[in-house]
Every structure is written in structure tokens, then in C-alpha cells.
A and B are shown apart, each in its own frame.
Chain A
Amino acid sequence: MKKTNYTEEGIAKWFYNYIKPHKIWLIGGIALSLIIIFVEVVLAYYLKQIIDLALEGEKGLFIQTVLYMAGIILFSTAIIYFNRLFLIQFAGKTTKDIRVAVYSHLSNISVKYIEKNNGSEIAARQNSGITSIEAFLRYQMPELFFQPLRFLVAFACMLYIDWKLTLLSSMLVPLAIFLGNKISKPYGSYYNELNERQGSKGRIIQDAISGLSILKIFNLEGIFAQKHASIIDQEVNTSLKIFKLNSLMEPVQVVLRLMPFVLCVILGGYLITQDVLTLGTLMAFLQLQNYIIEPMNKIPHLIRDVRGIEGASSYIRELLNETIENVNETDSSEVHIDSSSENVIKFNNVSFRYRDEGEPVLNNVTFDIAPNKMYALVGANGSGKSTIFKLITGLYSVSHGSIEVFNRPLDERNLNTIRQHISLVSQDSHMFPMTVAENIAIGLPEASTELIRNAAKMANAHDFIMDLPNQYDTIVGQDGMNLSGGQKQRISIARALLKNAPLILLDEPTSALDKSAEQSLQKELDILADNRTVIVIAHSLSTIMKADHIIVMNQGEVVGIGTHEELLDNNLVYHQLYKNQIASHDVAIPGDVAN
């Protein structure tokens, strides 16, 4: 992952992209803010009027002015309400867009990224990052425009009233900027740290929940509580650092609030005694002064908050910068599966590694898969069988060698189009927390109930589903926790069968099935293989022997391709792998007969 150093312009640009469609609300909000500023100035002016009028004893004008003020106050109450509504609309809509953008980005991001990063960690960091962004958009972002404007307007008006007093009271602005900037330097990294901690918490909570049985049976409650506590303690440490800085801002605030006031009191008092200034003017001035004191007070906070959001949002921004999968959108070519073509899949000297260091997982792998045949992929654990499936489906991409799927190099194709034509049963059957029917229907979202049931029957799942409390409408729970191991596996087979693709990839599809379920699935596969290409990864001999061709893998290399008999005769790896099973298997072993 590339660590980008975000500059203020960088983050402004980033935000602008998401703000753009909703900027009308922001502009509206700011426009209303301007009215509010204007109203405030007018109110201050009337205040001066009232006081001066009261002192002069002008009753008629006094009452008129009071009525004006009342009208203006009513008017601006409405304005304030709408100002808030606009800003809510702005922040809410923009946040929604960012949320959905992150989600759809995640759905397109490479599997490599997802596997390297814990899912719940991602979700927790995303949640906390977006919460911060929302608050920033709603409160601080408008302030970034509002406060300076307010300052300038008030400043101008005050200049008009008395330039000496004005300069005196705004003397501290550079100080405010300086201190705010100084104090808030580390905020960005602190907030990023906090976001990271949220992620670690998410990860450990997820682990504790999905591993709850193991956690309990191995009495791991204590150690996990400790791990969790240490994350919390780190979080507290970071927060305390933030609080220290925040507290440091308090005295700065006092100075910024009181100093202009004191200075004006001294000078203003003097000017009044010199009859240069009327009391009313000074009062109006002091009222206006609030409008520069407040922005001045907020400057350090705003600087801090911008730094904070830089840190709090940096994860989201990095995530959105993460390269998405090579989904070649320009490729609109249809996939033609014609049975006369020689190969469905062609691996050409493919080498592959997951990590940058260490031995490659696949080494110069070359093989062809002919259409409408059934292949078995066998080999020891970790020899790279599942990896081959990940490459065929484009979940990972290769750096050396080339892979052709449906007669065209994989990297030229739109992965989405390719994947439409592949049914995959992964080694561990994943379930979404939805109903059984919905879990099967992800294979073909528009499928009728009839089709779903047929697929379930083919996968030998229909009977057990009908025994579930709500049959096809039974909720399977997160990761299918309400089902048994074999039931999950059959649902994931049903889902792949429902998809009805010309290329079927099965990664140990019967590892959790009993013998009879395994045999009936084998029968189905036999029928399917008549007009489809099937590749099955398996350890059990009974499945392997059904295949037309067997590809033997060893430590990332293909060491033999042939039929069971051929391989037994002349493939040492294969022979070694199955010598135990063969001994107990009731099938006659050709090699033995020859002896």
C-alpha cells in the first residue's frame, strides 16, 4: 500500500469531488449565513440606535426601532432554521455518497487487499471515519466559510465606526493563527491513530465472536480480554494526548476572548472621556466586537479540526485510492464457448507468488483444459490447487506467464464477463445471513422458486432444507452458523449449479459430505460434464477416478497429467499420495495386477 502524504490542497480536492453534486446546499447554507451576518450587523446598529435614542429621550423613534428589531429577529429566526436545514441536507447527502462510494469500491477492490486486511477492521475503520466526516461536513466545513466571512464583514463595519479600536481588537488574529497552528500540529496523526484503534477493536471483537466456540473450549476468555484491554489502553493514551492539547487551547481561548475586550475598554473609556466617542457607539462597537472575537476564538479550533479530519478520514481516502481489480470495461466481447475449440483454459508457464519474498507458490505451470471434460486437480496440501482456481477466476493476477480463458488472454478481458461463465464452489462454503433460498439464488438472482428447488435437489440439499423450521425461508445466520458443515457445503454447491455456467470449478466440494451424499453428487457431475467443463479439486480417490483427466501437482508444479491408471503406473507423486488409500480401496489396481 502506498502511503500518500496528504496536503491541505489534496484533501480539499478530495472533498470537493464528493461535495460537488450537493454544493448547491452548501452554497445555499452559506448564502443564508451571509444574511445572518448581515442581520447581526443590522441588529448591532439598531442596538446603538436604541441606546442613543433612549439617552436622548426620543420616544417615537425608539418604539419604531424596537419594532424593526422585532421584525428582523423573527425573520432571522426563520433564516437560521433554513440555514441549518440546508447544511444538514448537504452533510447528509455528501456522507451518503461517500458511504456508498466506499462500499462499491470495496466490492471492486482486489481480493488480495481484502485477504490481507481483516474485514471487520475495515468495516470498523470505515464506520468511524465516515462518522467523523459527517460531523466535519455538518459543522466545521460551513464554519470554514462562515467564520472568516463574518470576521471580514464585522471588521469592515468596525473600521467604519472606529479604526483605532478595530485594529486594537483584531491585533490578536495572527496570534490566534500562530497558536492554533502550533498546538494542533499532531492532531492529524492522533486522529489517524484513533481510527486505527477502532479497526483493531473491530478485528478482535469479530475474532472473539466468530471463534466463540474455540475461545470457550480452550478457555481463552482471559487472554482475549487482555488483548482487547491493551488496545483500549492504547486508545486512552492517544485520547489523553488529544485532551492535553485541547486543554491547552482553553487558556488561549480566554486570552483571545478577554484581551480585545480589555484593550477596547481602556482605549474606548479614554476616548469617551475625551468626548471623541459616544457611549452608544462604543456599545455597538462592543457588540460587533463579539463577531470578531468569536471567529478569532474559533480559528485555533478550525485549524485543529481540519488537521483532525485529515487524520480521521485518511483511512477512507486511502481505501478509495486502493487500486480496484483489473476489470477491463473496454472489453465488451461476448464469451464464445464453442465445443470445437481446443481449450477452455490454457496455462502457459505461469509462475505466481502471494508475497513478495519467499518461494513462488506456482512455478512454471503449464496445462490445457479441453471443453466438456471432467478434470481432477490433485496434490498435497499447499501445493497450489486452490491458487490455480483463484487465477482462473482472476481473483489474483499473475506476473509471469499467461493464462487464457475461453480462448483469450485473461488480462485482456473484462473479468466480470469471464466470471459470468464460471461457477465456483470454494473450499470453505460461505453463507450470507439471509434465507436458504436467497443464499442459493445468488447464483441466479432472477431464478424462480422452481429452479432454486431443482438446484437444491441436484445438490442433494432439498430434503434437509424441507426439514428446517422454515424450509427455504430459514435464515442461515452469519456465516451459516445455524447449519451443519455438510449442509452449508451442499447449499454452496446448489448455488453454483443454479448458475449453470459452462465452466464449473469445485474446490473439495465433498469434504464435509458423507459417502452417500458424495456419490450422488458425483453422479450429477458426470451428467453435467457432458456439455460442460468441470474441474474438481479433490483428495478422495472415488471422486478423482471419475475424472477424464487428472492433473497432479506438487509444490507448485504440475508433475503429471493423465488418467488414474496411467498416473499410477508412471507418476511417483501420485502413487505416493494414494498408496494408502489404494491399499484399502476395493478397486483393482492395475499396477498391482501387472506385477
Chain B
Amino acid sequence: MLGSGLIKGLAQTAKNFFGSYHDPARMVTVEYPEQKRVVPEASRTIPFLVYDGEDPELGLRCTACKICEVECPTQCIYIVKNTSKKPDHVGKMQFHPATFDIDISVCMGCGICAEVCPFDSIKMDQVFELSTADRFESLLLHKQQLAKPNSYFGKIHPTEAGEIDIRREQDKRKAEAKAKADAEAKARAAAEVQNAAANSAAPPPSPQTVTPA
């Protein structure tokens, strides 16, 4: 009959109206500045630099290899290599960046830099409240702003960070084992050399020194 659909519709909206007051589960709105939705793990915004340990300067994983700078499609990374070197996690001496800038007004969040970095140094962040009143200085992020601890990385991308941590730990142990083995080998070699030296100091009777009978 004419009007039955109208009544059904009116009943539905009335149910919504009254339901919205006593059933908070109905309300899909997240009241943003006060409440925030947890972003999914795979989400990404702009890149940041990971550092190990406490000191962002010392622990920075970046070796200033400039692969990301070259690969970045928008050319928004600017790196200057430092002259000095510092040991990386396996103890190898590496360069590190004196300057590492990313112009996030240009960065398009493609994540290519994070994909190509062979040192697990540059990773994608999840910050999204990036608006600022100053469109020049505050959008050019420097090394100090970009560097974030590994624990933060572990928090936002637990899966990836976990894998990387395990791999780096293994690398480190391997390197240590190798170093130890090397040291042992060296020690053994040294011992041999010493032995040899001692032997030469008290040489076995040589044919030359054998007195002719």
C-alpha cells in the first residue's frame, strides 16, 4: 500500500536517532583531535632515519652511501658525507652524513628510499600531523628531526623491525665470532711465529753447525 515504505523508513531513522543516544557502538565518528584511530602497520607518510642506542649522532645507521638520494624520484633528499668515520653495528668503519635533509613538501611518500637503503637506515614514518604555518623552514627536515630511535621504529612497524633486528643481531654475532676466530687465528699464528722465533733462538743442531767429526 502507498505509504508503507515511508513508515518503514521513518521507523528506521527513528531507531537510528534514539539508538545513537544509548548505544555508542552505533556512532562511527572518531572525534579526531581528542580521539585518534590507530593507523595500520603498513601505512606510511614521510621517511625518517633510524638510530640504534641512545645517541642519535653515534647510533645513526646511515652510511651516507647516497643510494636513496639518487633513487628518490622527486629528488628531495640532500646528503653531505662526513670526512670522519665511525664503526657500524658490526664494528666496520663507515662514513656518516654531515647533512641529511628531506624536503617533505616535495616528498611524495613513495617509500622507494626505504626500499633501496642497504643499511636499514631510512624507513617510512607514520606521523600525519605535519601542517605548519611556515612553508619553507619547517618543511625542510634536518638530520636532527629525522633521526628517531630503533625502539620507535619497532613500535610503528613491529614486523619489519623485528626481522631487521634479528638479522642485525645475527650479523653482529657472526662478525663477533669472526673477529674472535680471527683473533684466535691471529693468536695462533702469532704463537706459531713466536714458537718459530723461540726455535730459531735455540736452533736445533743444523748441518752447518754440526762439527765435523
Q: Are the chains A and B members of one assembly? A: no
Chain B residues at the A interface, C-beta cutoff of 8 Å: none
